[in-house]
Structure 1
Amino acid sequence: MGRVALLQVNEVEKSFETVNGKVKALEKIQLDVEKGEFITVIGPSGCGKSTLLKIVAGLDMAHEGSVLLDNRKVTGPSIEKGFIFQEPRLFPWLTAEKNIAANLPVKNKETKESVKQLIELVRLKGFENAYPKELSGGMAQRVAIARALLRNPKVLLLDEPFGALDAFTRSHMQEVLLDIWQNNRTTMLFVTHDIDEAIYLATRVVIMNPRPGTIREVIPVDLPYPRKKTDASFQEIRQRVLSEFEKVEEHQAAAI
């Protein structure tokens, strides 16, 4: 008998009501994610990547099909599912340390020690008492990631968390996130538009077709960490992903 995946997305479908009638955003999404995997999801704009993430998080329950986490049906948001948005969404009146702790008592010895460890893990030592307005975009996003990790989620869901960052900061944040993943082995589901980022981070890359969003291909990335984007093995996988994207574009053009 095989292992049961930590996260199971079973025949998920999602439609929206518009002024022009019902529009199907997702169709028959089937995906199993093993504990400790780092899954990246890429596809054209409007293919339902973010919608899928919200369904997995329990933020959108108006869908068909089911999502199971640790073999239990997802029925709404919970601390078992951390969610990182495109922007940090920090409390401006709290320091970095207190934003990480949020509604947990920062003076509690166990919480304080966990916050301290996370600050070191996300490379924010020395900025514990800085307010959000005093942090760069990358630093603020690291606070948001640390806040999600403090709750010890079973899966961390990231919706284009580095999309607004400059190229240098984005590359640095990729390294920070890989450090976190390799230290904690938190299961990750990461949405991005960046093909190189998707390959650089992932154990598997999920490629989606345009609306209605379906899973076109799941490509394993059997490369050791740390990875070099200039390596021939990396470029070989990149070409395979690009080839699938060309088919996605053909699919999109045929649907118009």
Structure 2
Amino acid sequence: MLTIERLNKTFAAPAGPVVALSNIRLQVERGQFVTFIGPSGCGKSTLLKIVAGLDTAYEGTVELNGKAITGPGVDKGFIFQEPRLFPWLTVEKNIAANLSLGNAQVRRQVDELIELVRLKGFEKAYPKELSGGMAQRVAIARALLRKPEVLLLDEPFGALDAFTRTHMQEALLDIWRSSKTTMLFVTHDLDEAVFLGEKVVIMNPRPGHIRNVINVDLPYPRKRTGAAFQELRSKVLGEFEKVEQPPLLDQGAGI
């Protein structure tokens, strides 16, 4: 479904060109849940932006269903760390966004998504009345309404407390199983990567490249305290510990 071949991305900088991504090769099948983990500056977010069509200045091939990605579109949904809701709109209107709730089909789909993301009863609530996890569920529902081929999530739970984050991970898996949408999920949390992903992509920094791809052959729902989970976690951790960490001064580079 998603094919990335020989992808290279370079940024211009005062001190000279910075190679953010080098020779990225990856295949993602339809309906897969793939997580990406690596230190700051390894190009995880840059890779997501390229797949989303938000950055087209690169070398190589990035195709969705056999067609080159040349820009953003409704076939690619993007979820940021912050929900980015319209504060003057209710939950249901935030989900509909530029679509009219007066349209019977849109109304039905919005109602179905509100059920799916467990926000029944909050249709008329405004963003200021929602918790962080609830607001992210609104953002996910808004993206799913457009029926994207792939949903790209850039550390969507990074700002949540541990309890809410755990709940949101389970909720996202329910959404994924119900919607059958392909998901690419960037995180800095190793447990989160193993708990969610069918594949864990481990990335190295400077230049950003894929160090390893580990298949997570564990059935859902997964138990974090189970022996099989801990064994896979140790395997991913072992690979992650081999990753070359960028200098401390580069941690905020945001590449």
Question: TM-score scaled by structure 2?
Answer: 0.95
Residue type of the partner of 1:195?
L
Q: Which runs of 5+ in 2 are unaligned?
A: 251-255
Residue 104 of structure 1 pairs with residue 102 of structure 2: no
**Is the contact between residue 39 and residue 246 of structure 2 (CA under 8 Å) also seen in structure 1?**
no
Could you tell me which residue of structure 1 aligns to residue 154 of structure 2?
159
> Relative CO higher for 1 or 2, CA cutoff 8 Å, sep ≥ 6?
2
User: What secondary structure, in the 3-state scheme, does the structure 2 residue paired with 1:149 have?
Assistant: helix
Aligned-residue CA RMSD in angstroms?
Answer: 1.2
Q: Is the 8 A contact 2:150 2:181 kept in 1?
A: yes
Count of aligned positions: 248
Residue 131 (structure 1) aligns with:
126
Q: Secondary structure at the match of 1:66?
A: strand
Question: Cα deviations across residues 123-152 of structure 1 (Å, max 9, x unaligned)?
Answer: 111110001111111111000000000000
Equivalent residue in structure 2 for 1:40, among 35, 41, 44: 35
State the partner residue of 1:58. Answer: 53
Equivalent residue, structure 2, for 1:238? 233
Q: Choose the corresponding residue for 1:17, options 12, 18, 40.
A: 12
Distance in 2, matches of 1:36 and 1:61, equals 24
Confirm or deny: 8 A CA contact 2:91 2:126 kept in the other structure: yes
Aligned match of 1:202: 197
Q: How does 1:74-223 map to 2 (within 5 A)?
A: 74-223=69-218
By how many angstroms is 1:252 displaced?
5.2
Query: Any idea what the Cα deviations from partners look like across 1:19-39, whole Å, max 9, x if unmatched?
Result: 111110000000000001000
Q: CA deviation at 1:11?
A: 1.0
Matched residues in 2 for 1:106 and 1:11: separation? 43
Distance in structure 2 (CA, Å) of the matches to 1:85 and 1:252: 24
Q: Percent identity?
A: 70
Following the alignment from structure 2 to structure 1, what is the Cα–Cα distance between the partners of residues 201 and 241?
Answer: 15
Separation in 2, partners of 1:176, 1:8? 28
**2:23 pairs with 1:31:** no
Residues 133-176 of structure 1: per-residue CA shift (max 9 Å, x gap): 11111111000000000000000000000000000000010011
Tell me which stretches of 4 or more aligned residues in structure 1 moved more than 3 Å: none
- How far off its partner does 1:54 sit? 0.0
The separation in 1 between residues aligned to 2:241 and 2:164, in whole angstroms, is: 29
| Unmatched tracts of structure 1, length 5 or more | 1-5
Letter in 2 for 1:198: A
Look up the SS of the partner of 2:17 in the other structure: strand
C-alpha contact (below 8 Å) 2:41/2:246 kept by paired residues: no
Distance in 2, Cα, partners of 1:171 & 1:102:
28
